[in-house]
Amino acid sequence: MTINETITLSNGVRMPLLGLGVFQMKQGGEVLNAVRAALEAGYRHIDTAEGYRNEEEVGQALAESGVPRSEVWVTTKLSNDRQGYETTKAACEDSLRKLRLDQVDLYLMHWPFDETMADTWRAMQELRDEGKCRAIGVSNFSVKRFEFFFTLTDEAPAVNQVELHPFNYRPDLLELHRAKGIATEAYSPLTRAQRFDDPTLVALAEKHGKTPAQILIRWDLQHGIVTIPKSSHKERIIENADVYDFALEDEEVTQLDGLAQDYWAITWRPDPDGWY
Ligand code: NDP
């Protein structure tokens, strides 16, 4: 496995397994430097969102990088307050303009909202058919939310981006993804650095001569899960991609799976009413 490893989405498009997440990075240099460092380190995948308010600087960094557009995967996400048919179309155009692109590789519905889901999805399907995005997907969808989604449409999203790491490993959701041909993408894959002191993680890191962050990223990669660790620091961006010179044993992957304890790194849980 190398940094160029991809998975093939249900529509045949190949998506790089490792990307840089840019949530909470501010414009005015932080995003520019991080995306630049990531591209220099060999990343070919950037994950942003309209809601992160940094699409312009992602676009600037990509334009200035000299890396051919065809070699970089760009994901952005539809903001919650723009869900609905017309508003989704307009939001996608705005994102493309800010990113200085004719097409994004992946356009995600950032959060599920039942009331607007059907119209939003129909607009996203049309955007994909018009070539504004190569693939369309969802984010923060639980098993129950998918049950509702599939009462509205027969077409499965290409991707579901959810919080995922060993501490909230969710085999039921992954099984649904497998059954429906949905690629799994892990956000907050490093637990936002909240669980680096876990004894199992520390022991595996010591054994392999790696850091806890690298063990967590390797766990995703060996599961075939797309992973988008965020760092604003060049040395950590490089560290997070330095995961191709070792492998976890199968039983070590299983050991990490066993850390599941419904632990959430994000500050507010999607669907606190019990969808998850
Ligand atoms: P991560 O799990 O990626 O953790 C990021 C944190 O870990 C930052 O504080 C970073 O600090 C630190 N860090 C990164 N690398 C290392 C390292 N090697 N050693 C020590 N600390 C490290 O959290 P995120 O929540 O940012 O998730 C990643 C991406 O997922 C986001 O950027 C975004 O693109 C996406 N996301 C999507 C959501 C959705 O609703 N769809 C929700 C949340 C995230 P520093 O930057 O200072 O280096």
**For a substitution probing ligand 1, which of 187, 226, 228, 235 has the most ligand atoms within 8 Å of its CB?**
187
- pTM (2 d.p.): 0.97
Q: Is 233 in the pocket of ligand 1 (CB under 6 A)?
A: yes
Share of the chain above pLDDT 90, in %: 92
The answer as to whether 213 is a domain residue is: yes
The answer as to whether 175 is a domain residue is: yes
What pLDDT score does 262 carry? Answer: 81
Q: Where are the alpha helices (DSSP H) in the chain?
A: 30-40, 55-65, 85-99, 114-129, 143-149, 171-180, 199-208, 212-223, 234-241, 250-257
The packing angle between helices 85-99 and 55-65, to 10°, is: 40
Q: Is the pLDDT of residue 219 over 90?
A: yes
Q: Is the pLDDT of residue 127 over 60?
A: yes
CA distance 261 to 1: 29
Average pLDDT over residues 196-219: 98
Q: Is 16 in the pocket of ligand 1 (CB under 6 A)?
A: no
Expressed in angstroms and rounded, the spacing between residue 126 Cα and the centre of ligand 1 is: 31
For the chain, the domain total comes to 1
Expressed in angstroms and rounded, the spacing between residue 115 Cα and the centre of ligand 1 is: 30
Q: What is the pLDDT of residues 176-186, one digit of tens each?
A: 999 999 999 99
Q: Is the pLDDT of residue 143 over 80?
A: yes
Q: Is the dihedral of CA 208, 210, 216, 221 positive or negative?
A: negative
> Which listed residue (43, 52, 107, 276) is catalytic?
52
8: Cβ contacts below 8 Å, ≥ 6 apart: 14, 15
**For a substitution probing ligand 1, which of 190, 191, 198, 202 has the most ligand atoms within 8 Å of its CB?**
190
The answer as to whether 11 is a domain residue is: yes
What pLDDT score does 163 carry? Answer: 94
Beta bridge partners of 161: 139, 185
Ligand 1, atom 16, lies closest to the CA of 236
What's 115's domain CATH number?
Answer: 3.20.20.100
The answer as to whether 275 is a domain residue is: no
Average pLDDT over residues 46-72: 98
The answer as to whether 276 is a domain residue is: no
CA distance 3 to 43: 7
Ligand 1, atom 17, lies closest to the CA of 236
The answer as to whether 270 is a domain residue is: no
52 among known catalytic residues? yes
Parent domain of 214: 6-260
The overall average pLDDT reported for the chain is 95
What pLDDT score does 265 carry? Answer: 83
The answer as to whether 165 is a domain residue is: yes
The answer as to whether 273 is a domain residue is: no
Beta strands 6-8 and 14-16 are antiparallel
Q: Is the pLDDT of residue 276 over 50?
A: no
Q: Is 227 in the pocket of ligand 1 (CB under 6 A)?
A: no
What pLDDT score does 269 carry? Answer: 64
Q: Is 25 exposed, middle or buried (0-12, 13-18, 19+ CB in 10 A)?
A: buried
